[in-house]
Amino acid sequence: MPAKRILILDIDGLRRDVFAQSLDDPAQPALQTLMGDASRRLVLDPLSTAPSITFCAQSSMFTGRHPADHGVIGNQFFDRFGRYENRGPKFYAFDVGDLLAVEDALRIYQDSDGLLGRIYPAGVTTLHEHVRARGKRSATVHHMVGRGADVWIKPDLIQIARAVKGGGLFGLEPSAFDSEMTDKAIALLRSGDRPDVLTLYFLGLDQHSHHNGPGEQLAYMRQHVGPPLARLVATLELLNLLEDTLVVVASDHGQYATPSDTRHSLRLSFPFDRELAHVFDSLGLDVHDYPGESPDCDAVVASNGALAYVYLRRPGHPWATPPRFETDVRRVAKAFWDAHLTGAHSDELRGTLSGILARDVEREGWAAPHQSIDSAGRLHVLEDAFATQEGHTVVQAARRLRASQSDLSPDLVLLSNYTEGFYFSPPLLGMHGGLHPDDSGATLAFGFAKVGDPAPAAAVLHAVEHAIMARSRAEDRAVSVADLTTGVLAALDA
């Protein structure tokens, strides 16, 4: 195999335009060394999942499957069947969220499989398991998908809580988190371990971009990703590991700029910032809206940046009973449209939505597809609903939404009016989760840092490109973040 080893640099939230700038940036020599020159580099333009959000997209990246298959359909979602962990209906919030689901965030890194590894259904194989099946070894540092890895170096749980949710005196700078992660990877290599596939997960750029805006990404790459990469390059050179190493730089999504104020931040928080909850209150529905509350209620909302999922329960029935379309689903959709158009039910929601999707599981079963529902209650196929926006404010919206469709999908999807800066999150300066080109565009690039013979390296890159393009054509879609696994396996098999 001409690629002696594969090094994956997974940089959360890295916009593809910032990556392109970084490849030509004199202030980032380590990244350029790792990616090699343009003659031994393959740069693709993948699209993220829908929603374009971390745990959903990272699961696709490291299983090679779309969300409908791997089941992690957002950072937040509701398992109305109690299927995943045999503990009854459960609301998941891997990002902690408004309801402070700290347990979920911590369980991501607990036991040998982690929470995500237990959620993926039978038949879904992680990249690490694919590597092991080929008789090779993999290691991953700080990544949330570790099932099947020979070495899974996990973050300190207190530190990850501080890095993601901390602030002020108790906060941990995201750059410090990533610097320590890189040092752990370096220590692994210095110990004599030589994994065939090594993944480093950089959490910090996305966190910094949320709080400082995506316009700060290039500066962050220079100041806080560049120095750890320089230490990594020095280690690889010292240990004679740089030659014939295939380096993969990947991201899960991009970001777009948003106003960091309470007007544009749409939340469910108890007891304040209840913009979404007011709609349910006005309809006499008990919404799941405070920490520790049982989902034994009428509605559950899962916030995923630019999209929000709404799950509705048929009154007096278990969650596994399909809700009534007319009296449960359409009624709530109308209330949200009224709030958007007139301020009825919740004046704070006036002008905040760009669309609503609905599905009729009462008539069509749990495989019912989402359709767009307009303010008059009429349903439209997704392609028609997004036709005038395609390429401008959305990109391959219908296809990507269908790739996330499963029986665990919500009854309604609220689409924030992100062209006017609205989103379902605490106030932040950078956001993702939607269908816009800025947050849907991700990064996927393959390059040889140093080669002895350029011909075998070129053959590997050709094999990677052929596998990814053949799969995307077969599935009638653009290149996807799910093609990270496709490309890495093609390189291993070349």
pLDDT tens over the chain, length 494 residues: 578 899 999 999 999 999 999 999 999 999 999 999 998 999 999 999 999 999 999 999 999 999 999 999 999 999 999 988 777 899 999 887 776 667 788 889 988 899 999 999 999 999 999 999 999 999 999 999 999 999 999 988 666 665 555 444 346 688 988 999 999 999 999 999 999 999 999 999 999 999 999 999 999 999 999 999 999 999 999 999 999 999 999 999 999 999 999 999 999 877 778 899 999 999 999 999 888 788 899 999 999 999 999 999 999 999 999 999 999 999 999 999 999 999 999 999 999 999 999 999 999 999 999 999 999 999 999 999 999 998 889 999 999 999 999 999 999 999 999 999 999 999 999 999 999 999 999 999 999 998 888 899 999 999 999 999 999 999 999 999 999 999 999 999 99
SS3 480: strand
76 located within any domain: no
Reported pTM:
0.96
Residues 248 and 220 in one domain: yes
Q: For residue 109, what are the CA distances in angstroms to 143, 173, 205, 266, 273?
A: 9, 20, 20, 29, 30
**Which residue do the tokens 């995943």 mark?**
84
SS3 291: coil
Residues 457 and 385 in one domain: no
Pairing of strands 5-11, 245-250: parallel
Domains in the chain, number: 2
- Helix-strand-coil split of the chain, %, nearest 5: 40, 20, 45
Task: From 177, 190, 280, 278, select the one nearest 235 (Cα to Cα).
Answer: 190
Residues 296 and 348 in one domain: yes
**Which residue do the tokens 């990002």 mark?**
95
20 located within any domain: yes
79 located within any domain: no
103 located within any domain: no
The whole-angstrom separation of Cα 54 and Cα 12 is 8
Residues 309 and 218 in one domain: no
SS3 375: coil
The whole-angstrom separation of Cα 360 and Cα 484 is 34
109 located within any domain: no
Six-digit token string for 311: 């799950």
Q: Which of 427, 451, 471 is the endpoint of a domain?
A: 427
Range of the domain at 302: 277-427
The whole-angstrom separation of Cα 424 and Cα 273 is 11
